Structure 1
């Protein structure tokens, strides 16, 4: 008898099924996601792939998120549920789930995103065809708003659903340094790679850039050209917090950039990282984190002298110009413009 999603048999039957169908662990982190969490978890339960376990970690939500999870557990008691008595952050919460996960592959699912029914089946099939040095398979994503309306795609697509632009695949370390291109919620990761890295770095405010830097140095990534996930763009999404004055995300980014610097091996990689740091310096100015901008400058100077544009931004930082209010209004205008054109991209 095949297991249904969210229900994983134990003992010898589990070992046998795992040998023919790798178990996939879906770790869902929730914090005040009452409005969306039922749809997110139901999308896991509705997967066509049978060997799935679902772990939910709630970071001390103050809304009705816990009640929504408990209601689903009444119907699907195999869902594992951890309720934290405080908000321990995304990275530590994920690691709680990782310690319990039994799957060969792991998906980090936000409680406001939705997986398409064939996603796990398609990604497992793709992973099983790859060589052993692939750590991540990722795909395209649809963007939806708070009312489930389609607003665009992570990569623009043709009428047949294929992306219209080249997407880095294979050895992507330099590409990871140069730009944000992996849609985080589309990733399926090898659990043994996550464990070898010690899971997510719990000293950081967010997880993906650091994981990419640490894993892409020694492992390959594979881009699967399909739309398999719907990523929800909401007003208070993590990516939008990069716009906020004194957000902790940029300080975490500086730590990751130092890790990346230590792992660079070629001039091209150093140039890619330098270009990204120049962008982060501008973000420090826009978010009025003026002292942090100069800490990024210190790292940049190990690789190159700041160009005139960066030097000008740093001069503005010395003057402590209050620009964040204007920047946030511009960012909202730009996102609304992208929403209308169906080309929305999170600021990262």
Structure 2
């Protein structure tokens, strides 16, 4: 247990890369949190647009926003790890620069974690395209999930996670170009029995039709590589959990809840 963490502080890790068109909405959704004890660690992964100019303006006006400006593009896993290495809070959350939070997310989730006495929590979330008020579907989550269950169903949205480092311990993300978040949750669940899910949707995940169609097959391949290389699963067991994952993904997409 690290006694150096600031007890009530939530450290929010946000990687950015060419995010100027959507960045403001994401940061404002953090600033509007009813829970005020937070710091935002924004790690810019060598953006080429005016993202950094926007970040400097935000940081000037809000001392809780801290910037890390990388000289070379490394990917979101590396960027998140840079943020984690500087995080001072007992609690850690994640928000990508194109996603958003409900104003009461942190307040409600921390209360839930206290009630459950858990170190790892996640929530349901809405999926939207252009406007968060126009929900395309809602991703529902189980009350709890363990390591073997998560292998079959990558249901934990990175934007919804809060981790209590006094219970879980310090951690880093593996340097994968995709699925580094799920690989991290799997590593934590090898030591923690369960991650606990909140039924209430408290985050908004942005998608576009272009990204969905172009990345679908790549993500399947990345998931397979994660099973075999990062988790070291046998060919037979990897095939089994992969088929479960595909089935769950198809079911999740068909379950359109407005």
| Interval containing the TM-score (normalised by the shorter chain) | 0.7 to 0.9
1:255 Cα deviation after fit: 3.9
Q: Distance in 2 between matches of 1:129 and 1:88?
A: 38
> After superposition, where does 1:68-87 map in structure 2 within 5 Å?
68-87=54-73
Residue equivalent to 1:297 = none
Unaligned runs of 5+ in 1: 1-13, 156-166, 265-269, 283-333
Equivalent in the alignment of 1:23: 9
Matched, 1:145 2:119: no
1:207 — aligned with what? 180
- Could you say which structure has the higher strand fraction? 2
Asked whether 1:136 is paired with 2:101, we answer no
Shift of the alpha carbon at 1:106?
A: 0.7
The offset of 1:42, in angstroms, is 0.9
Pairing partner for 2:158 from 184, 205, 209: 184
Distance 2:214 2:169 in 1: 28
- Say if 2:76 is the partner of 1:90: yes
In structure 2, how many angstroms separate the alpha carbons of the residues matched to 1:29 and 1:64? 15
Cα distance, 1:227 vs. partner?
1.3
What TM-score does the superposition give when structure 1 sets the normalisation length?
A: 0.62
Across the aligned residues of Structure 1 and Structure 2, the Cα RMSD in angstroms comes to 3.2
**Structure 1 residue 192: deviation in Å?**
4.9
Question: Which region of structure 1 is more displaced relative to structure 2, 85-94 or 142-151?
Answer: 142-151
Return the alpha-carbon distance in structure 2 between the equivalents of residues 67 and 119 of structure 1.
28
How many residue pairs get aligned? The number is 248
Check conservation: 1:91, 1:206, Cα contact below 8 A: no
Aligned partner (choices 201, 215, 229) of residue 227 of structure 1? 201
Residues 254-281 of structure 1 deviation map (CA, whole Å, 9 limit, x = unaligned):
144444356x9xxxxx85x432334789
Question: Which structure has the larger Rg?
Answer: 1
Give 3-state SS (helix, strand or coil) of 1:129's partner.
helix
Unaligned runs of 5+ in 2: none
- Give the Cα–Cα distance (whole angstroms) in 2 for the partners of residues 182 and 33 of structure 1: 23
Q: Which residue of 1 aligns with 2:86?
A: 100
Give, in angstroms, the shift of residue 172 of structure 1: 1.5
**How high is the TM-score relative to the length of structure 2?**
0.82
Q: Which residue of 2 aligns with 1:254?
A: 225
The separation in 2 between residues aligned to 1:83 and 1:236, in whole angstroms, is 29
**Alignment CA distance shift 1:63-1:143 (3 Å):** same
